[in-house]
Structure 1
Amino acid sequence: MLTGKSNQDIIVQAFRYGVQDFLHKKYLTKILLFESIQRATKQHREEQVKSDTITLSAHIFNKSKFLKKIELAELNDVVLVIEVDDYQGLHDEFGIILTEKICAHIAKITSKAITRKELEGVVIRSGDAATAALLKSHADFNVGEKFSKILCKAFKKYPYVDDDHSIEYTVSIGVAVIDKEKFDPETIFISADVACRIARNNKDNSYII
């Protein structure tokens, strides 16, 4: 039998990693439990690596498609990189599943804002914490700044709601304007990403062009 506070912590950790799937004996001993934890932890890590690999592959595929869209862009079109602030902090506090939902929520708001304002554009998830958007300017030279302001207000107005309580977040937005007839899509994307990183130095939802 296992008793005592220290063993309770072991049991909590064990079931967190699905140790129940590895226990087949009638009587539970500490040695058996530790061995089962090791096996369960190993499987958990392997599954996490597999999951991370699949997610990374999806983001790489999305970015590749997005760069092809940028190739077709025209002068004065804009690329935006929108990234949730303190991704690791959200991950630590709420866990990966809820943090992923928050990031998906950000992408959804971005897409809806484009539709609501009758703009022409495309939105993708470009990373765990990031969303990217390509907007057609249609001769509106300030479309990037206007849309960034719209997004900042929208993200403040619509926190992520889970189980009847809201989770507030802030984002940083980087904007890159295509200002040359001949351009490299990857360079444009990187410029938007760098601007996004600079925007992190500001408080609340913010953007840099």
Structure 2
Amino acid sequence: MSQDELLPLFMPALCALLVSAENKKTSPLNEAEVLNIRDAAAVIMVSRDRFSAMAQSRGYADIDPQNCWYDWQMLRRHLGRKPDLDAGAKLLFVSKENSDFNASVAAAQETLGVFRSMLNDSSAPQRFPLVKVLLSEPGYQAYIWLLAVAHDDGGFVGRIFELPGAFTQYAKDMQVAVPERDVQDWMINDQGTLYGGYSLRYSRADMSDAEKLAFDQHVGVSIYA
């Protein structure tokens, strides 16, 4: 059996551990506490069939450890726990061979001229222009949205405004040069109307209605143009 066929099974379930910890604390867990509980929990790697059988036996699907904070907030909302906390965005892990994901990148590349035209339009000061790029350093990499602060025919300059804690060589407010060929996506949020954002549309497509609502609230979008 290849390592790719194995899935992490938490014993006891990760969601049960988090419910117990929050009950004991008598106030909402913060993100660091949630991740510490996940990292300290007992977990075994099992086949997909055994993983599915355990979920069926439990009567529920456990929290995805890669989206631990997001899934925990979705569960808290389902349980009616207050106060409601910002779940952030759900991370989507896809293969480079995924045709739909690759199509979203191609669409972004093909419409960079539209993005530049909108950047040059000074009549909409409320716009929030972003470019997505793969940031890499030894041992870690992730796709990150950057605030587009400058551009020319060769590419863009983006400022980091949010960053996963695993990065050590990048920091908030750092400016990064992004050659045009490295742009994975672009978006402009014009007072709730989204232009571009092809990877967001791809990620959102398979979400439940509740997840779509939380996703839209997090990115501040009400209309997908």
Bin for the TM-score computed over the shorter chain: under 0.3
Larger Rg: 1
Greater RCO (Cα-Cα under 8 Å, separation 6 or more): 1
**TM-score of the superposed pair, with normalisation by structure 1:** 0.24
| Greater percentage in helix | 1
**TM-score of the superposed pair, with normalisation by structure 2:** 0.23
| Greater percentage in strand | 2
